[in-house]
Amino acid sequence: MSDSGTRVGTDVKMTSYWLDTAVPSGDYRTTTIPKEVDVAVVGAGFTGLSTALHAARAGRSVAVLEANTVVWGASGRNGGMATTGLAIGFRQALRRYGEQRAIGYFTEYNRAIDLIEDIVRENGLDVDYARSGKMNLAWKESHFEGLTQTADALRRLVGQPVRIVDRESIRSEIGSDVYHGAMVDPLGAGVHVAKFGHELARLAVEAGATVHENAEVVDVTRIGDGTTHVLQTSRGTIRAGKVVIGTSGYTGRPFGWVQRRIVPVGSFIVVTEPLPQAVADELLPNRRMASDTKNFIYYFRITPDNRLLFGGRARFAQSDPSSDRKSGEILIRAMHHVFPQMREARIDYMWGGLVDISMDQMVHAGEHRGLFYSTSYSGHGVQMATYMGKVMADVVSGRPEANVWRDLRNPWIPGHYGAPWMLPLGGAWYGLQDKLS
């Protein structure tokens, strides 16, 4: 037992529930790396796999180079929530960017969920995809007022079919009394992210792309007139006309320019044993993808086999086995606070991963010195990384206008050369804001 009462079995799996319950579409650890391709994609998460799928379907020769295995990174470790809206609030987007741009950025996320749905439907994928909606839960009374104003703005300016649930009716949406109300958006969706990622890899290969696991890109050189890149990988060398970087919070030295613009922040998840149907129905009767309004956010959902998945930032720390366990213990206490009826539930899984957060918490995608990149999904990449893969396939084919984020300033994070020394400071700052809001 943990000190919080929940049974954490000695055999708790310190691995992603999603990865543990999905079958890879192939073993790509020894595939032969081609000598030359039109497009080399770095990273086999949703960004990389979707880029590969769409570029290969457009007739390009494509190789995906992955340091670990398919969806090893954030794509296989997240909450499985394809939700509407930006990482920042819609009213904040209105203040920063004005009406037209804020609406444009917001609706891009609706399109991103539609793309996942299209891929699932058109290819007959069995990936537990469901448009069961999302809800934002107000941690404080003042947050509820904010949600009400946001809902008004979204209905009026975007036509988003959101609705407000007040505290008196909250039990129609959640088996908890800690929240002050919610904003529900029926357009959010859930998906089994590892099944989806493995299917993306299969579809990309069927379209003609090659996938190479255990192939870390350690160096990239631009040669000749700049139209060719030589990529050194841990499994050999490959030449490519275009390079697309999709390495999110795992971006390292060969891509220092991108790395210095991303703070990799740990996000952590615990998953319970399968719950009786009646308990799952009490916790989240409508199976919404749920998150709350704190900076030290909690997010949760019911998995396809009726477990409660409960995640959060927990400690503003990096993710490693010891950090994942400490964060897991914090999350278990949080889960008990939100759902006291879970006190006796056994914890079967506990893990963490890195979220790629930018200074402005906006997506950043474009080209720098001949290298294309799409990163900084700031915790909202299930849908957006998949979508940006399609966009980047267009961009490398000479259609930069497909990328709505291209004009955003993408500043360097001062003093950030690699190790994210600023995490404790960020944690203290956001914790204070949570207290004061």
Ligand X SMILES: Cc1cc2nc3c(=O)[nH]c(=O)nc-3n(C[C@H](O)[C@H](O)[C@H](O)COP(=O)(O)OP(=O)(O)OC[C@H]3O[C@@H](n4cnc5c(N)ncnc54)[C@H](O)[C@@H]3O)c2cc1C
Rounded to an integer, what is the distance from CA 245 to the centroid of its chain?
Answer: 16
Binding mask 185-224 for ligand X (x = CB under 6 A): -------------------------------xx-------
Rounded to an integer, what is the distance from CA 298 to the centroid of its chain?
Answer: 15
Among 186, 252, 426, 431, binds ligand X (CB under 6 A): 252
Count the site residues for ligand X by CB under 6 A: 42
Query: Could you say which residues in the range 67-126 bind ligand X, by CB under 6 A?
Result: 67-68, 72-75, 77-81
Cβ-based nearer residue to ligand X, 45 or 181: 45
Q: Which stretch binds ligand X (CB under 6 A): 158-166, 249-257, 328-336, 337-345?
A: 249-257
Cβ-based nearer residue to ligand X, 83 or 150: 83
Residue 127 binds ligand X, judged by CB under 6 A = no
Residue 254 binds ligand X, judged by CB under 6 A = yes
Residue 313 binds ligand X, judged by CB under 6 A = no
Q: Which stretch binds ligand X (CB under 6 A): 326-334, 381-389, 392-400, 414-422?
A: 381-389
Q: Give the nearest distance from C-beta 68 to ligand X in angstroms.
A: 4
Which residue matches tokens 């949703």?
46
Residue 244 binds ligand X, judged by CB under 6 A = no
Q: Give the nearest distance from C-beta 340 to ligand X in angstroms.
A: 24
Residue 179 binds ligand X, judged by CB under 6 A = no
Cβ-based nearer residue to ligand X, 234 or 433: 234
Alpha carbon of 245 to those of 136, 199, 254, 375: distances in Å? 32, 21, 10, 8
Among 147, 182, 200, 269, binds ligand X (CB under 6 A): 269
Position closest to ligand X via CB: 381
Q: Give the nearest distance from C-beta 168 to ligand X in angstroms.
A: 28
Residue 65 binds ligand X, judged by CB under 6 A = yes
Angle of the 90-122 helix axis to the 381-395 helix axis, nearest 10: 80
Cβ-based nearer residue to ligand X, 179 or 377: 377
d(CA 72, CA 66): 9
Residue 376 binds ligand X, judged by CB under 6 A = no
Neighbours of 363 (CB within 10 A): 29
Q: Which stretch binds ligand X (CB under 6 A): 38-46, 162-170, 408-416, 427-435?
A: 38-46
Q: Give the nearest distance from C-beta 322 to ligand X in angstroms.
A: 16
Residue 40 binds ligand X, judged by CB under 6 A = no
Among 165, 211, 302, 382, binds ligand X (CB under 6 A): 382
Cβ-based nearer residue to ligand X, 6 or 248: 248
Q: Which residues is 272 bridged to in the sheet?
A: 347
Q: Give the nearest distance from C-beta 254 to ligand X in angstroms.
A: 6
Is the distance from CB of 255 to CB of 43 less than 8 angstroms?
A: no
Q: Give the nearest distance from C-beta 244 to ligand X in angstroms.
A: 11
| Residue 12 CB partners (closer than 8 Å, separation 6+) | 347, 348, 349, 350
Q: Give the nearest distance from C-beta 82 to ligand X in angstroms.
A: 6
Contacts with ligand X, residue ranges (CB under 6 A): 42-48, 65-68, 72-75, 77-81, 216-217, 246-250, 252, 254, 267, 269, 311, 353-355, 377, 379-383, 385
